[in-house]
A and B are shown apart, each in its own frame.
Chain A
Amino acid sequence: MTTYETSTVVPAPRRPWDHTRSTAIRVAVLVFLSGIFGLVINAITGLSGFLGWYLGLAFAMPVIAFVGSVRHGWNLASDRIATALITVAFAAVTIPWVSIFVTVYQKGSKAFHAKYLTDDMRITPSSDLIQYGGVAHAIIGTLIMVLIASLIAVPLGILAAVYIVEIKGRFAKLVRFLTQAMSGVPSIVAGLFIYATVVVFFGGFSAWAGALSLVILMLPTVARTSEEILKIVPDDLRTASYALGATQARTTFRVVLPTVASGLVTAAVLGIARVVGETAPLILTASYFVAKSTSLTEPIASLPIYIFSSLGLGDDNATTRAWGGSLVLLGVVFILFAIARTISTRLSRK
């Protein structure tokens, strides 16, 4: 092999198109000037506070971008304006999210005292001072109902996915369509349905009526996620199993499902995250109860209803309790989310 006489000095790779320091300075000046304009808006119009300032900034940035680049032609100027507008709009979108997280944490932590997570409201009226009472009954209630709902919805959801992907039965398209339709059922309608059937029939609000209404909401999520996970399994796996003489049942349970076990767990966790915060159906099915309870045939507390009912009282202490419950609920959602993501990243790394 003849070697080509390259220069012995290989130059360092460059990226001359990257944003240079002058670009960074330009952007900083733009943001700074827009910020000043925001303060001006704050001062002279009725729009006050952070939002008034942001509105001023949001208005000024595209305008200043335009003025700064119009000398290069409309092509470049329109690109800069578009960039400014899109960035400002996105930043605006994140403001409510930040506000929600910060507010829930700030106001919610005020409700926390040593026994907040272990006490219930059995003897404490909601307007009582916040160092009394707790949220334990709501946590237990949510736990019980979500557990029962999962025991029903997760197997059914996975089986629906198995039907669509593995068995590919005659009704596969129909089932798929129906699961998607079911995911659009408003939560209050799910509650109404369980009320019209279970509550009326058995004569009273109950924990398991609540659980059943959650099943309706949880099933489509589990089914859809499971379906996507099963689709990822390569067909070779199934073919190999059939070639060894295994039945379809065996193949499904011993080969396919174990392969995606962690993915199915993710599907279950996502389903749980979906229903743990549902309020409307529980209003109509499980109602509320102020004490810790494990009875399935009686009304039971839940985190969302705890928040909802505390808020309705209008009292300051009650409102603080509502925020406290929100903090707990948000924490639960967060944890579920983190679990789901850890599992799915571990799944994709395999």
Chain B
Amino acid sequence: MTRMDNNMNNDVSTPEVIVPSMPADQSQMEDRTQRSAENLEVSRRGGLEAVGVHAWFNKHHALADVSLHFPENTVTGLIGPSGCGKSTFLRLLNRMHEFIPKAAMAGEVLFEGNDIYAPGVNPIEIRRRIGMVFQKANPFPAMNIGENVVAGLKLARVKTDDKDSLIEECLTRAGLWNEVKDRLKAPGGSLSGGQQQRLCIARALALKPEVLLLDEPCSALDPGSTLRVEETIVQLSQTMTIVMVTHNMQQAARVSDYCAFFLSEGGPGHLVEADLTTNIFSNPADQRTADYVQGRFG
């Protein structure tokens, strides 16, 4: 049963008009309300939301004016050709963008209604609650499998009463428990590529994040591992919000509830269209979206 079947039974909250916190002037406010009808905007009650987000690398404007809301317990796929800023946008959501020297941003990212870039916000706390899994699986080679799972606890200095049951729980949710339950002491690097990636997912889960960001998690994996990771993602979305960058449109169609299509037309990457996955693939609003999902470019 794919994610799209699930969607048919879900209630989708009615789009409301976004009210920006501090409109600079009347025309700007009208601009935003105009565009918000095109994008998928919901109330600012919960979940994760980007508002007018820009990104720069040194002086290079890489991402322009992205406003996107990620409803709770859904999977949103970020699709689009390479180089249009999807990964950059992802990194802005958990404050990883700032590790790049001479990086800059503008706009807001609201997590539970509060801007994560506000002064006084502890980015470490943000990264604990908004987890990330990278394109290339990166388990810590110096630790064994069990230690890798709880590595986040050690790094973020989070206490836990029962380490073993946490390890089992996370590995089960990542769909890896049955394969490694007998060799928790084996080194982290001894697993196959797909298993390593699921280990990284388990590692991210140990901190019990509310949002999980995945940056092309299956691009380096074989089809069998890819399928298993996708199953895991679908399962996880029942309890957390998931945002996934993917190059694979079929994967986006299989796994995501909503899709956001990014494009760069010579300038900074920007958001063209965001909608339910079914709409994006069957009757997109923008011609460029239609061209992309039908494979006419990309």
User: A and B touching (C-beta < 8 Å)?
Assistant: yes
Which of A's residues lie within 8 Å of B, judged by CB? Answer: 1-17, 20, 72-76, 78
Instruction: Name, among A8, A13, A15, the residue most crowded by chain B CB atoms within 10 Å (CB to CB).
Output: A13
B236 CB → nearest A CB, Å: 26
Contacts of B56 in A (CB 8 A): 13
Contact B123 A17, beta carbon cutoff 8 Å:
yes
Give the dominant DSSP class at A's interface: loop
Question: Which of A3, A16, A20 is within 8 Å of B117, CB to CB?
Answer: A16
What distance in Å separates the Cβ of B86 from its nearest Cβ neighbour in chain A?
16
Query: Is B288 at the interface (CB under 8 A from chain A)?
Result: yes
Given contacts A4-B270, A7-B31, A15-B98, contact A72 B106 (CB under 8 A): no
Q: A4-B270, A5-B35, A15-B104 are in contact. List 7 more A-B contacts (CB 8 A).
A: A2-B288, A11-B54, A11-B106, A13-B54, A17-B117, A20-B119, A76-B124
Chain B, residues 263-277, CB within 8 Å of chain A (1/0): the string is: 101100010100000
> For A5, A13, A16, which residue has the most chain B Cβ atoms within 10 angstroms?
A16
Q: What is the minimal beta-carbon distance from B277 to any residue of chain A, in angstroms?
A: 22
B122 is contacted by which of A5, A7, A76 (Cβ under 8 Å)?
Answer: A76
Q: Is the CB of A6 within 8 A of B106?
A: no
Chain B positions 200 through 239: 1 when the CB is less than 8 Å from some CB of chain A, otherwise 0: 0000000000000000000000000000000000000000
CA distance A15 to B123 in the complex (A): 13
B1 at interface by CB-CB < 8 Å: no
Q: 5 tightest A-B contacts by CB?
A: A13-B104, A11-B106, A75-B157, A17-B98, A16-B117
Determine the distance from Cα of A74 to Cα of B157 in the docked complex, in whole angstroms: 7
* Chain B binding surface SS class: mixed
Q: Tell me whether B156 is interfacial, beta carbon within 8 Å.
A: yes
Any A CB within 8 A of the CB of B72: no
A14:B31 contact, CB within 8 angstroms: no
Which residue of chain B is the closest to A73 with respect to CB atoms? Answer: B157
Check if B105 sits within 8 Å of A13, measured CB to CB. Answer: yes
Residues of B within 8 A of A20 (CB): 119
Chain B residue with the shortest CB-CB distance to A5: B35
Q: Check if B284 is an interface residue, CB within 8 A of chain A.
A: no
> Nearest chain-B residue to A16 (Cβ)?
B117
Residues of B within 8 A of A10 (CB): 54, 61, 64
Smallest beta-carbon distance A24→chain B, Å = 13
B binding-site residues for A, Cβ under 8 Å:
24, 28, 31-32, 35, 52, 54, 56, 61, 64-65, 95, 98, 103-107, 117-119, 122-124, 156-157, 263, 265-266, 270, 272, 287-288
Please, which residues of chain B bring their CB within 8 A of the CB of A12?
106
Contacts of B98 in A (CB 8 A): 15, 17
Shortest distance in angstroms between B188's beta carbon and chain A's nearest beta carbon?
Answer: 23
Q: Which residue of B lies closest to A17 (CB)?
A: B98
* B44 CB → nearest A CB, Å: 19
A142 CA to B59 CA, complexed, in Å? 53
Tell me if A1 and B265 are in contact (CB < 8 A).
Answer: yes
> With the chains together, A75 CA to B159 CA distance in Å?
11
A78 contacts B157, C-beta separation under 8 Å: yes
B66 → chain A closest CB, angstroms: 10
Among candidates A3, A7, A11, A75, residue contacting B156 with C-beta atoms closer than 8 Å: A75
- A191 shortest CB reach to chain B, Å: 45
| CA distance in complex: A210, B266 (Å) | 67
Q: Taking CB as reference atom, which chain B residue is nearest A11?
A: B106
The interface residues of chain B lying within 8 Å CB-to-CB of A78 are 157
Docked-complex contact B24 and A9, CB < 8 angstroms: yes
Q: Please determine whether B106 and A13 come into contact, CB atoms closer than 8 angstroms.
A: yes
Residues of A within 8 A of B24 (CB): 9
| Nearest opposing residue in chain B for A78, CB measure | B157
- Given A11-B106, A13-B105, A14-B104: A6 touches B156 (CB 8 Å cut-off): no
Q: A6-B64, A16-B119, A73-B157 are in contact. Are A11 and B52 (CB under 8 A)?
A: yes
Q: Which residues of A contact B52 (CB under 8 A)?
A: 7, 11
The residues of A that contact B107 with a CB separation of less than 8 Å are: 11
Q: B89 to chain A: closest CB distance in Å?
A: 15
Report how far A233 CA is from B24 CA in the complex, Å: 57
Closest CB of chain B to A317's CB: distance in Å? 54
Question: How far is it, in angstroms, between the C-alpha of A3 and the C-alpha of B270 when the chains are bound?
Answer: 11
Chain B contacts for A5, CB-based, 8 A: 35
Closest to B103 in A: A15
Q: What are the residues of chain B within 8 A of A73 when measuring CB–CB?
A: 157
Residue numbers in A under 8 Å from B124 (CB-CB): 75-76
For residue B17, give the distance in angstroms from its CB to the closest CB of chain A: 16
Q: Cβ of A17 and Cβ of B95 under 8 Å apart? A: yes
Residues of B within 8 A of A7 (CB): 28, 31-32, 52, 65
A-B contact pairs, 20 of them (CB 8 A): A5-B35, A7-B31, A7-B52, A9-B28, A10-B54, A11-B52, A11-B106, A11-B107, A13-B56, A13-B105, A14-B105, A14-B117, A16-B117, A16-B119, A17-B117, A20-B119, A73-B157, A75-B156, A76-B122, A76-B124
Within 8 Å by CB of B106, from A1, A3, A14, A17, lies A14
A5 to B32 alpha-carbon distance, docked (Å): 11
Complex CA distance for A16 and B104, rounded to whole angstroms: 8
From residue B211, how far is it (CB to closest CB) to chain A in Å? 19
What's the nearest-Cβ distance from chain B to residue A61, in Å?
A: 22
